[in-house]
Chain A
Amino acid sequence: MTQRYADGKFGDYGGQYVPEVLMPAIEELTDAYERYVLGNEDGFMDEFRARLRDFGGRPTPTQYAERLSDRYDREVYLKREDLLHGGAHKLNNALGQVLLAKYMGKERIVAETGAGQHGTATAMAAAHLGMPCEIYMGERDINRQRPNVFRMRLNGSEITPVTTGRGTLKEAISETMRDWATNVEDTHYVIGSIVGPHPFPSMVRDFHSVISTETRRQLREQTGGLPDAVLACAGGGSNTMGMFTDFVDDEDVELYAVEAGGSTLDVDEEAGVAPNSASLSTGEEGVLHGARTKLLQDTDGQIMESHSISSGLDYAGVGPELAHLVDEERVNAVNVDDDSALEAFHRLSQLEGVIPALETAHAFGYLEEHHEELGETIVLNVSGRGDKDLQAAIEETEQRDIEAAPSMAEFSGGI
């Protein structure tokens, strides 16, 4: 378990910019994080790992991707986080935090969700551990991700639509913070990424770092060495930091955080819209949702509305640790646009029999465009499976001319 940046500051980034009413809860959480997560008090981490294994299905495999390796004439490996229970890496963090809430004696869970992956993971973890759970989700995301809404309800969670702003992840986080500020004494906020005030960025990273621990070990077993490049998509950055953490000290391993370039990197300052979610690539330093980090914002400091074809990447901020690693030039911040991600979605589905989440597809879009620069051995995090995105993928595909895409017209009437 890493103790890097234990004070919650990542260079200039991080910190605790939250209303005073939450500070005692943040102090309580910091204390619990240090004792249970870092110190394994009462065997917390042992129980966490056992539950990740028995309930979650860890370890997930690192798989050699034969046809992609042929296509790019180099060794391509897939870290199959899509095979974790729930179909995405999100369970690592959700299970860790709900378990921690139990150890802390909290009686209720709140969480926000964008794509619904964190929400479904939290709903599963809450059901598994017998905790009441309320999930805030932007109205627009509810419409984009109906199957995930049903899954959360099936697991017994309450869903509260958020109608402010554009009704996506940014607003859902703000609204969940308001709930937490109201019910702070008995409620724990299970934040869904490596964002927010300390200790969340460090704690969420620690829960997800098992991804890189396994990948590093599995690759060494299979190849006898380390990869030349590690790729992961990046929105808030939880799968990214989970995939990178144990490789950060391996100086010869290049790390690529692939952001959503959306429709364009250009920004419409007048309308307050950034038609992308590339805060690492194009954002400026600022303070949002409890942390100082890189943000999509206008020159006054108002937060921009972001955009991505994948709602899980659609966020105007990014984890402070990832922002710091980009400034330190340890992590390469790159991006691909909506079209490239959608093409990669089809390519991976057809070449490897793996239907990726649209978030995940961004990493494969970058592989297609830049494989020649990535060395001989490349590993990508398949952060989630694409079942939740079928509706969106079919609709978006219809609007484009994608060579590899099958026609769904004969089955029109929807899925």
Chain B
Amino acid sequence: MAGDRGGGSDLEAAFADGPAFVPYLAAGDPDYDSALAYVEALARGGADVIELGLPFSEPIAEGPTIQSAVVRALNAGMTPDRFFAFVEDLDVDVPLVCMTYYNLIYQYGSSEAPSASDSRATEPGGGQGPRPFVKRAAAAGLSGFVVPDLPAEEAEPLREACDEFGVDLVFIVAPTTEGDRLRRNMEHVSGYVYVQARTGVTGARDDVSDQTERSLQRLADYDVPKAVGFGIKTGEHAARIVAGGADGVIVGSALVDIVAEGVENDTPTEEVAARLEAMARELKTGAERGYEQRVPQAGGN
């Protein structure tokens, strides 16, 4: 059944008591220690789940804001191993989701081929697929993955590894995902479904697309939590989206903008962290407000 794959996962639980606020930051942006402080600030500001970006050199689904974050994090030395250390160093008690591109998942552990004697004799790339990465991620305490360049068609090996290690695999449903595709994708989803609010790439926008409403309508019959992302940047947006039926909101670029501004103006880490916490609170309160607006309708259903 859709939504039951992860059976009582941390992620689904995070959506159980009212609307979830799911912020995103790139791990290691602009440097390791500041990013730790920033992610912890999001948790204090009311995050229910946090998506942590593991930066990849070719982020084809990202707009300019997150592309820049990725460049900053890579320049500061972020790697998959440092990412896992980062997750372990974080002092937060909300579930964490790793957002990254498939090549990093696929390559992890490929240089440590099963045995030195036949290191090149196995499948190209080491032949271990996504399993070593997922195993390490589970050990570090990550609860799930979002992989923007991995559609359901190519996801089977990762899905198997996630099932083996009890980690959720969140899929993105786009405004263009309809009919059979939608049904097929929903069979793979666990944790929550990432509802892409509009076509295009990530980035904060001034309006909320009506593509969102149509997507939520298409998903209404599935009981997995629906978190809407792409373009949300104010508490008012968050309220409208939750009032429209979303179970949560995902916000990335609007938060990364605060980090970028801090880098540009050389703002002290504590100050940037305080701004992030305030922004998180605004978004979380917005989501809660939207939920209250919708309760009468939901109750009559």
User: Which of A's residues lie within 8 Å of B, judged by CB?
Assistant: 12, 15-25, 27, 164-165, 170, 174, 177-178, 181-185, 272, 284-290, 295, 297, 299-303, 327
Give B181-220 as 1s and 0s: 1 = Cβ < 8 Å from A's Cβ atoms.
1000100000000001001110000000000000000000
B116-141: which residues lie under 8 A (CB-CB) from chain A? 123-125
* Interface contact A289-B60, CB-CB below 8 Å: yes
Give the residues in chain A near B74, CB-CB below 8 Å: 302
Query: How many contacting A-B pairs (Cβ < 8 A)?
Result: 128
State which of B58, B63, B124, B175 has its C-beta within 8 Å of the C-beta of A288: B58
What B residues does A289 contact at CB under 8 A?
58, 60
Given contacts A17-B151, A19-B151, A170-B58, list 7 more A-B pairs with CB under 8 A.
A12-B124, A16-B154, A21-B176, A185-B199, A284-B110, A289-B60, A301-B106
Max count, chain B CB within 10 A of own CB: residue among A183, A290, A295, A300: A300
**B65 within 8 A of partner (CB):** no
- Say if the beta carbon of B111 comes within 8 Å of chain A: yes
**Minimum Cβ distance to chain A for residue B90 (Å):** 21
Residues of B within 8 A of A18 (CB): 60, 149, 151
Interface stretch of the complex, out of B6-14, B20-28, B166-174, B279-287: B166-174
Residues of chain B within 8 A (CB-CB) of A15 are 153-154
Closest chain A residue, CB of each to CB of B153: A16
| A19, B103: Cβ atoms closer than 8 Å | no
Contact B104 A178 (CB under 8 A): no
* Among A17, A20, A170, A185, residue most surrounded by chain B Cβ atoms (within 10 Å): A20
Q: Which chain A positions have C-beta within 8 A of B80? A: 300-301
Q: Please count how many residues in chain B sit with their CB below 8 Å of the partner chain's CB atoms.
A: 45
Q: A16-B154, A20-B151 are in contact. Are A286 and B60 (CB under 8 A)?
A: no
- Is B106 a contact partner of A286 (Cβ separation < 8 A)? yes
The smallest beta-carbon distance between A14 and chain B, in angstroms, is 10
Give the distance in Å from the alpha carbon of A286 to the alpha carbon of B103 in the complex: 6
Smallest CB separation, A295 vs chain B (Å): 8
Residues of chain B having any CB pair with chain A under 8 Å: 56-63, 67, 71, 74, 79-80, 101-104, 106-108, 110-111, 123-125, 148-151, 153-154, 171-178, 181, 185, 196, 199-201
Q: CB distance A285 to B63 under 8 Å?
A: no
- Please indicate the chain A residues that have their CB under 8 angstroms from the CB of B59 in the complex: 174
By the criterion CB–CB under 8 Å, are B201 and A178 in contact?
yes
Choice from B61, B63, B125 contacting A19 with Cβ under 8 Å? B61
Q: Across the interface, name the chain A residue whose C-beta is closest to B74.
A: A302
Q: Determine the chain A residues whose CB is within 8 A of the CB of B181 once the complex forms.
A: 23-24, 27
Contact of A301 among B103, B151, B178, B196 (CB under 8 A): B103
- CB pair B199–A285 under 8 Å, yes or no, is no
Most chain B CB within 10 A, of A165, A284, A287, A327, is at: A287
